[in-house]
Amino acid sequence: MFVITDFGALGDGQTLNTVAIQKAVDTCSQSGGGRVLVPAGLFITGSIWLRDNVELHLCNGAILRGSSNLDDYNRDDAFPQNMRSEQEQWNGSHLLLGVEVSNVSITGPGCIDGNCEAFFEAPVKPRKPSFSWSHGMRKAKDKERLRPGQMIMFSECRDIRMSDLDLRNSCCWTCLFHGCQDVFVSGLKIRNPIDGGNTDGIDIDCCRRVIVRDCNIRTGDDGITLRGSFRTLKDKSGICENVTISNCVIDSSVCAFRIGVGEGYIRNVAISNIVIERAGTGFLLQSAYSPNAPRGVDISEIAISNIQAQNLAYPLRIISGYPTATAKISHIRVNGFYGRCHGNCVFQGNDQTRPRDIRLSNCDFSIVPAPIVLESAEDYPQYFLQMDRVDAITLDNFNIQWREQDATWKGAIHKADVSDINVNSNCHLNEPW
């Protein structure tokens, strides 16, 4: 065991402890591995590089807080797989990072605090009333140097474990696993400002064999994302596969789950036993997120089950996205989705690619009045099931009930340029009047 205070770290909330903590981590790895212990106290630090065979353990009462000085973090060019986003106003700095390391753990019950208030602009009102970012979206205070990127980043690593941690106030995505294999995540409590732009909870990008369970996430952006964005990686296969996510509670200002982004492949994913407390969209499956990845990502073999939701706008959106998309979405199964919502379900392709082979079983939705007043009636959804340029969709025991709806709703289902749409006799698609 290597205790960071034995290397000179001070938990006084003022001393910068980067050098002391890094020395403890390096010594542990060079000695064959073991545990680096963070005792109770408030330890300020810049970027810490994780090493092979090291467990960074934060004791009860221990807090690692990110420095408020960007000079204390790694440079954008510190490793070739790094990334930044001028548009979203975050740079390539990280609080904890592992690059091409293996057998690394970060464990609690202590806290890792990204100190986002030192880098975020003042609270802002939404530019336009919207079901997502309804509380506004803050970005970087410093528009030139921006704000730190992902708080905890693992790039092309193996055998990674994170468990029983309190993660707070991330300046960007809280945890990113990029091009990793054999990842186990459990018992994370993530708390970010609900108006913090890009403060995702857990991002799984081009990773294989990942287990996420028993997490409690509140965030100003997406709760959990699955991505196939491989451009900065050495491994260009772009495959995100064999992922299971279960027993989580998610409170999100945008998507509880975003599945898409990049030009690779996302497949063989099981998501189950999820409670959504709040979200703009429950599940977004989207091929092309932006024109920067015009082809989009292929998405297939996705199983979603036992979902309970409230304070939700759009339960499910399966869409090609940008009109450049050619990647395919297929073999999607949703079984057991229950909740109250004020938006609709959208299934939409384009002239080049059409989502297909989608089965929705045992779903019950109550449509309630929207809690947000949008600018015009055209901004509200008109049909609860909106289908456009999609094929082979089956509804089995799919039921909707309307609760005090206004005149903006026109009907239960709308179909345009579709084929092989099967609505079983046990469905109840009641009209809104």
CA–CA separation, 116 and 139 (whole Å):
10
In a domain, 9, yes or no: no
Report the pLDDT value the prediction gives residue 413, as an integer from 0 to 100. Answer: 96
In a domain, 36, yes or no: no
In a domain, 241, yes or no: yes
Confidence band, pLDDT 50/70/90 cuts, at residue 405 = low
For residue range 169-219, list pLDDT tens digits in order.
999 999 999 999 999 999 999 999 999 999 999 999 999 999 999 999 999
In a domain, 296, yes or no: yes
In a domain, 342, yes or no: yes
In a domain, 132, yes or no: yes
Q: Determine the average pLDDT of the residues in 50-64.
A: 98
Q: Give one DSSP letter per residue of 229-277, joined into a string.
A: --TTSS----EEEEEEEEEEEEEESSEEEEEEEESSEEEEEEEEEEEEE
Please give the model's pTM, rounded to 2 decimal places: 0.97
Q: Determine the average pLDDT of the residues in 65-80.
A: 98
Question: Does residue 13 carry a pLDDT above 70?
Answer: yes
Q: Which amino acid does the sequence have at 287? A: S
Q: Please report, for the domain that includes residue 295, its CATH number.
A: 2.160.20.10
Q: How many domains would you assign to the chain?
A: 1
Cβ neighbours of 360 (radius 10 Å): 23
| For the ranges 112-126, 201-215, 361-375, the one whose mean pLDDT is highest | 201-215
3-state SS assignment for residue 429? strand
Residue-averaged pLDDT of the chain = 96
Q: Which amino acid does the sequence have at 42? A: L
For residue range 326-346, list pLDDT tens digits in order.
999 999 999 999 999 999 999
Q: What is the domain extent for residue 211? A: 97-429
As given in the structure block, the two tokens for residue 136 are 């506004």
CA–CA separation, 204 and 185 (whole Å):
11
